[in-house]
Structure 1
Amino acid sequence: MRFAVANRPGAAAQLQGLKRRLPAGILLLLQFLAVKVLAHQGCESGHFTSSGDCCDLCPPGYGVTVPCNDANTKCEPCQENVTFSSAASATAPCQPCSLCPSQSLTQHSCTPARDTLCAISCPQEHYLSVANGSHGGGRCLPCQVCPEGYGALKPCGAGTDTVCQKCPDGYYSELKSATEPCLPCQRDCGKNKVMIQACTPLSDTLCMEKDLQILKRTEGEPRKDFPRRPPLLDSEGSVSPNASSSSSEFVPPLAEDNSKNIIPVYCSILAAVVVGLLAYVAFKCWNTCKQKHQLAKARAGELVASPEGEKLHSDSGVFLDTHSLQEHHPLNKAAHKAEPQFYANLPPHKQEEVEQLLETPSRGKDWRSLANHLGYEEETIATFGRGEAPAHTLLSDWSAKEGATLESLCTALAAIERADVVENLNAPAEVSSVV
């Protein structure tokens, strides 16, 4: 502060005037404060003793035993593989060395100036990320793979990743690798070879022999006689003058027709397909015949010709249902009441109405329930169901049996609660006519 004031113009006079006006104690205090500020700026540790001296720093590899207070800092060296101190300090003592976990390896042992560095045994093409053992070790990360045209300037190691660089002129790399560097290119092909492609970052120089053996005949191989063109004939049928020269002209051999070797394969495949189709058709025919045979047994009653009424022809073309006339004739009423009525004697249209009513979907009241009450077994009922008109098949088979009267049919229908069908059977048949 005194130097700064003394360098100004008239500083001496001003200083003398200041001394006269200020007491001596204040001047001493200002001088002491100026010395303190300069001492703080020059103290590296930033700590001072009680007397105002700068505290010393313990260098790396040394720890503080007595912190700086009344006296200056006292240091001691750290022990190898026991304690360490990695930074200069005026307060920190030596720290204990870290121990690597059981699954880790020691990459660097503990020294007085550095802690233990642990390494995990990483798999191939992986590296260990840098981390101190005191922080639990690093992680295994996959190595960077250099693409084609790039080489590994620094290969992937135990604790370092791959550093790739593009192959310069005269070098190449054909592989993707985390360890292979760029390889030098082949300079020339030599006297007996011809360069096909120059070296690039992706491939080496490509050379080929000048004297290729492709068209050369090996020793001992017989000479092949290739076909010649036939001599040319002129319009009169004689050999043309150029026949001798043209006949000796070389004709390249025709390429072998490999399609001939494929024809047997195609024939075999086609034959297998045909045999398979024939076997499938035979199986279907056998299965159909078997079903038809079963249905034929069920429809045996259809062979019995049911009376369909007598047709009376006249000039007017009138058809009369004699069954209906007989039922309504007053002379035959007593006879019909005395004789049992059979289902087979019903008119065809009446039978068709009954069959349609029974084939109408109704839970537990269709032709299957009727077949159960008429005494048919489940296997026979299932055979009827495979036909196109199961109700017709059922009633035709039943009407061919003894006792197939309308009374027994109405009793079975009443048992399955089909009063509508009973009412249809008991309704008088109308005389139908077609003009």
Structure 2
Amino acid sequence: PLLLLLAELGCNSEPTYPWKDAGTGERLTCQQCPPGTFVAQHCSRDSPTVCRRCPDLHYTQYWNYLEKCRYCNVICGEKQVEVQQCNATHNRVCQCQEGYYSNMELCIRHSECPPGSGAEKPGTPFEDTKCHKCPPGFFSSNSSTNPCQPHQNCEQQGKVTNVQGNQYHDTLCTSCRLGGGNTTQGPAVEDDDCEQAMIDFVVYQNMPVKKLKRLQQILERSPKKQQPWTRAAIQEKFRTFLTHKKEEHYEVTKELLEALRIVKLHSIEEKVRKRFLL
């Protein structure tokens, strides 16, 4: 009980500091000033310490016996924002703005996770983005700071799976009646949904990248020398191009089948004809 009482007294007592009275030479124990104030006059035998509030743009954060407050000397730099204003008890606090993190006293933009990967842990003002490979059932089709997204469920939408998703792209669904089932009526080539399904099916076939590029060159009428893009990037760009041509009412089906023959992708051409009853 005695130890507990002494501990409580120690916790409740205000901090002190030793002081020598310049006039009398007497050694005294003065009370410190609380945060937000400073010592305007040290104590004497007859009077306690006189504390005064810090002036504007000055502060003291702890109990102290300073004769003047500290100046708020923190200035927010480039790509920083003020998260705490200078006040009587705290210096100004800055941190990196949204989308940036602190590294070697500089604010660096958060790293983007490459296609096929997503943010396992989003970046903060103090740490960079932590990326990880998208697990089965999830994908990321572009570089971003977002987490991997789940593949859509075609059955829940009353559709069928046309292209199975992977870590780079979503599962692609269609309302088109695909060949090979029990239906007696096949897909209509002029049907917009079926033509889109055919585009998706061809673009995401597992063909050599060299042949994929050649197919793209023929249909886009682009030069042979292209940017060194990844398979996923080429597929995304090629799909966007073909979809745009379809919307402009070009004969995409006819041109795509012809290009498959030129590139000698006969097995894929056969799959397309069988699947879409062409």
Larger radius of gyration: 1
TM-score bin (small chain):
0.3 to 0.5
Structure in which a larger fraction of residues adopt helix: 1
Q: Give the structure-2-normalised TM-score.
A: 0.43
TM-score by length of 1: 0.30
Considering fraction of residues, name the structure with more strand. Answer: 2
